[in-house]
Structure 1
Amino acid sequence: MEAAFLKKRNWSSRAIFEDIAASGWTNPGIDPSFKAFFMADLVSEYDSVNLYNFLYARRKEFSPYFVQYLDFWYADERNHADGFFELNRLVFGAPESDLINDLKNRVGDFSGLEDILSCEFNLLLLFAYDEYVSVKTYKKDTFYQDFGHPGFNVWIKNLIADEAIHFGNAVKILKTFHADKLDQAQSVLRRIGGFEGGEYKNTFLFDHDGPHFQLDSDEVGSVVIDEILSILQKRSL
């Protein structure tokens, strides 16, 4: 059987947390300061709905591969958000209904991003950049191994694997169908990097100003751009 062009992992955040709860797990004394940390992560993942809906109306502009990319990406981000809902419920007793009420009226402000969002090529580079950064920051979340159940660590590792696949899928589409434009990648990525440090506007993108973001300023921007350009220049992913 021919392998699918884009990769997609299938797993359930809720199933992992259901297993943790069913095991009789008790809170070992997780620092209450993690509540703000996890809420910031939940907000970031939940806001994927704003970006997805913003791009959905433009689906006819995009290649079938990028449309599939968006659908795969969004399904994964919803699964990640489900995980943070479960995490907040399990660790801090926060009812999901209350969390949803706090989140459901969030509106993404995409003003100022028009150029970066203008075409499939730019969007793929934007996703590649964002997902690459996500992998780097989530890898620093090593505290899950101290939460008293291996399921927490299994969950965050699954999440990291998804973000890595999102990056890989974006690069694959770029190298397969946009190879004639790759000489423009550096310029576009530099413009993308220029948004670092700005105010987060509920867009899912550049959500790097909260307690959940563990990278220093010298770990984003130019260093990420150079690494992505190096990967794009290789013959195969």
Structure 2
Amino acid sequence: MEAAFLKKRNWSSRAIFEDVATSGWINPGIDQSFKAFFMADLVSEYDSVNLYNFLYTRRREFSPYFVQYLDFWYADERNHADGFFELNRLVFGADERELINYLKGRVGDFTGLEDILASEFNLLLLFAYDEYVSVKTYKKDTFYQDFGHPGFNLWIKNLIADEAIHFGNAIKILKTFHADKLDRAESILRKIGGFEGAEYKNTFLFDHDGPHFQLDSDEVGEIVINEILSILQKRSL
């Protein structure tokens, strides 16, 4: 059987946390400061719905591969949001109805992002940048191993693997179908990097101003741009 062009992993956040909840797990006294941390991660992952809906009406202008990319990415991000939702309920006893009502009221503001959202090529570079940064920051979340059940660590490892695949899929589409435009990648990536430090507007993108974001300013922007450009210049992933 021929391998699929884009990769997709299939697993369930809710199933993992259901296993934790029914295992007899007892909260070892997880610090209350994580409450704001996990809520910031929840809203960031949930806001993928705002970006997906914003791009949905433009599906006809995108290649079939990028349309599939968006559908795979969105399914994964919803699964990640489900995980943070269940994490907040399990660890802090958050009320399900209150969480749902809070999330449903979020609206994305894409003002100012028009140029970098203007084409499939730009969007692929944007996703590559965002997912690369996500892998870097989630890798610093080593505290899950102290939560008293291996399911927590399994969950974050699955999430990191998804983000890495999103990055790899974006790079694959860029190198396969947009090779003639790669000479423009550096200038576009620098525009993307220029949004670092801007106010987060519920767009899923550049959600780097909350307590959940553990990278320093010298770990984003220029260094990420150079690493992506290096990967794009290689013949294969």
TM range (shorter): over 0.9
What secondary structure is seen at the aligned counterpart in 1 of 2:43? helix
2: CA distance between counterparts of 1:2 and 1:36? 45
Q: Counterpart in 1 of 2:31?
A: 31
Q: How does 1:1-237 map to 2 (within 5 A)?
A: 1-237=1-237
Show structure 1 runs of 5+ residues with no match: none
2: CA distance between counterparts of 1:97 and 1:43? 15
What secondary structure is seen at the aligned counterpart in 2 of 1:230? helix
Show structure 2 runs of 5+ residues with no match: none
Cα deviation code 1:165-220 (max 9, x no counterpart): 00000000000000000000000000000000000000000000000000000000
Question: How far off its partner does 1:67 sit?
Answer: 0.1
2: CA distance between counterparts of 1:161 and 1:70? 17
Moved over 4 A (4+): none
1: CA distance between counterparts of 2:102 and 2:64? 35
What secondary structure is seen at the aligned counterpart in 2 of 1:84? helix
Q: Quick one: which amino acid aligns to residue 202 of structure 2?
A: N
- Between stretches 125-134 and 87-96, larger displacement belongs to 87-96
Question: How far off its partner does 1:103 sit?
Answer: 1.2
Cα deviation code 1:84-121 (max 9, x no counterpart): 01000000000222111011011100010000000000
Cα deviation code 1:10-49 (max 9, x no counterpart): 0000000000011100100000000000000000000000
Aligned length: 237
Q: TM-score, normalised by structure 1?
A: 1.00
What secondary structure is seen at the aligned counterpart in 1 of 2:160? helix
1: CA distance between counterparts of 2:119 and 2:181? 12
Q: Quick one: which amino acid aligns to residue 210 of structure 2?
A: G
Q: TM-score, normalised by structure 2?
A: 1.00
Q: Quick one: which amino acid aligns to residue 184 of structure 1?
A: R
1: CA distance between counterparts of 2:106 and 2:30? 29
Cα deviation code 1:133-167 (max 9, x no counterpart): 00000000000000000000000000000000000
RMSD (Å), alpha carbons: 0.4
